[in-house]
Homo-oligomer: A and B are copies of this chain.
Amino acid sequence: MMALECDGDIIVIDAGVMFPEQDMPGVDYAISDISYLKENPERVRAILITHGHEDHIGGLPFLLAEINAPVYSSRLTNGLISVKLNEHRNLTGVQLNVIDPYSKIDLGAFSAEFFPVCHSIPDAMGIAIDTPLGLVIHTGDFKIDHTPADGQPTDFSALSRLAADGVLLLLSDSTYAELEGYTESEHVVGEALDHIIAEAQGRVMVATFASLISRVQQVINAAVRHGRKVTIVGRSMQNNVSMALDMGYLTAPPDIVISMAQARELPLDKIVIMATGSQGEPTSALVRIANGDHRDIEIVPGDTVVISASPIPGNETLISRTIDNLQRQSARVLYSRVAKVHVHGHASQEELKMMLSVVRPRYFVPVHGEYRHLIMHASIARSMGIPESNAFVLEDGDVLELTRDHGEVVDKVRAGPLFVDGHHFWNMDSTILKERIRLAREGVVTVVATLDSRTHAPVGRPYVISYGFIELDESQDLFQKTSNNVASYLEDLGQHELDLEEVKSRLSKSVADFLYNETRRRPTVLTVIEQI
């Protein structure tokens, strides 16, 4: 998410979610902290969405709950947003607008025009925003593909026209700024899939992202060519495919896309199954198939499985394990490391240079990527003649102030991330994640002791229970000793006036030290002292 502000008017571009990393256990996802917008709700003129991926629309329900500004997006993106908002029925009066490419919208101090870009979802757009200081161009996520699977290349003629009178600021996708050369065309993948489906002796399964409509189209095309039917497995992919068919983003002859029940009547070499699970998601169709616990589908010798995706960073191990398990079940598995079954959706270095060269902006802000990608993209911009003082690597919350002849980061506002966990939100300062990581490392031991509130003498035996710490058969003797230690510790306290918090904290430490000596592990120790 980013916001542009001029003469008191604000427009917001994209409102995504971030998926949790491995050191964020239990977090559903993270969203932006919109404190700044909440202070200025009436000044937000519009929310412009570049395309329908979760990292661009997933935060909309949270944003719209606070800021009821009109949303503008392309037709397919609007469809995906509608589906998402339907799950959040508390939102009322939301203003969703479909905007065609090249048509202008007036937004107070701004006016905006969308233009088509090629990305791994149909109907992706960049945005040209006219401001009193000059034109701002936001590429959205893009690559340059002259033979894209969905027939929508990035429109460089429009960009040239828009940029003709000079561009104040370019905000450009940095995700693959590390990669030299050009991102290969989707065409290459289409050919590879066609070849695989043509040659396969048995059933073919293709796993990819649920939103990668163009990949589904490539598979349907190959299936038609080689006399196979296609069945879709996995709820999110089924929803997307039927919406894309309805809206015309996906075309298939009648009876090509069939149900699982229909597929079961066909010989295996007449079937292509498309499924989710290309990231090794534990509950996905593909992973359940790999583990041999899918309700409908079991791998049989002769099956070919194509993982038509590359790993999102952090998912490498899950994906590798899925590939291993599919092979253990006797499938032949093709994946991006060994076959040309995926190209990614973002521009590589030469494409980024092309964008910079067509737009020739005065100021440059690399967007969408991790810090090292932004740094790399800024250095590419420098190599293209953008002065170092005019390229800004920004972090969440940085406020960049631009005039016609000067740019400077002048402030930092609260921008998140906010972690969403069930009904709760917490920010980076929360201790919850640290506590969870600590629990995961060594488990938890709870000690419960009862004191006589008058004499302070222990009543009964202290209880010790644990979870994630030690096997039951090893614990009995150890916890017996722990309980004895706690009892004698409490007896030694005598009948002085007790600071209960102090006693609990000392007791926890004493138990932790005892357990460490016995086991060389440091579980979290929680102590309860009851007084009766």
Contacts and interface: CB of A to CB of B under 8 A. Distances in A.
A314 interface: yes
A474 B431 CA distance: 13
Contacts of A179: 337
A42 interface: no
B317 A26 contact: no
A381 B524 CA distance: 51
Interface stretch (A111-119, A191-199, A465-473): A465-473
B437 A443 contact: no
Nearest to A518: B423
B519 A372 contact: no
A424 B178 contact: no
A459 interface: yes
Given A467-B439, A470-B424, A526 B450 contact: no
Interface in A331-350: 333, 337-338
A521 B465 CA distance: 22
Contacts of A467: 435, 439, 444, 524, 526
A383 interface: no
A421 interface: yes
Contacts of A459: 532
A320 interface: yes
A210 interface: no
B375 A432 contact: no
A370 B320 CA distance: 9
A423 B441 CA distance: 15
Given A465-B528, A528-B465, A436 B446 contact: no
Interface in A427-449: 430, 432, 435-444, 446, 448
Contacts of A263: none
A426 interface: yes
Contact of A317 (B313, B469, B470): B313
A463 interface: yes
Interface stretch (A134-142, A243-251, A296-304, A321-329): A321-329
Contacts of A526: 444, 446, 465, 467
Contact of A26 (B421, B443, B474): B443
A401 interface: no
Interface string A53-70: 000000000000000000
A461 to B, nearest CB: 9
Interface string A514-532: 0000111100101010101
A524 B423 CA distance: 17
A463 B323 CA distance: 47
A526 B375 CA distance: 48
A446 B22 CA distance: 26
B22 A426 contact: no
B450 A443 contact: no
A205 to B, nearest CB: 16
Interface in A460-501: 460, 463, 465, 467-471, 474
B371 A324 contact: yes
Interface string A369-391: 01110011000000000000000
Contact of A440 (B314, B436, B474, B532): B436
Interface of A: 21-22, 25-26, 178-179, 313-314, 316-317, 320, 323-325, 327-328, 333, 337-338, 370-372, 375-376, 421-424, 426, 430, 432, 435-444, 446, 448, 450, 459-460, 463, 465, 467-471, 474, 518-521, 524, 526, 528, 530, 532
29 contacts: A22-B22, A26-B440, A26-B442, A26-B521, A313-B320, A314-B317, A320-B370, A324-B370, A324-B372, A325-B371, A327-B372, A423-B519, A423-B520, A424-B471, A432-B469, A432-B470, A436-B442, A439-B443, A439-B444, A444-B444, A448-B448, A448-B528, A450-B530, A450-B532, A459-B532, A460-B530, A460-B532, A528-B528, A532-B532
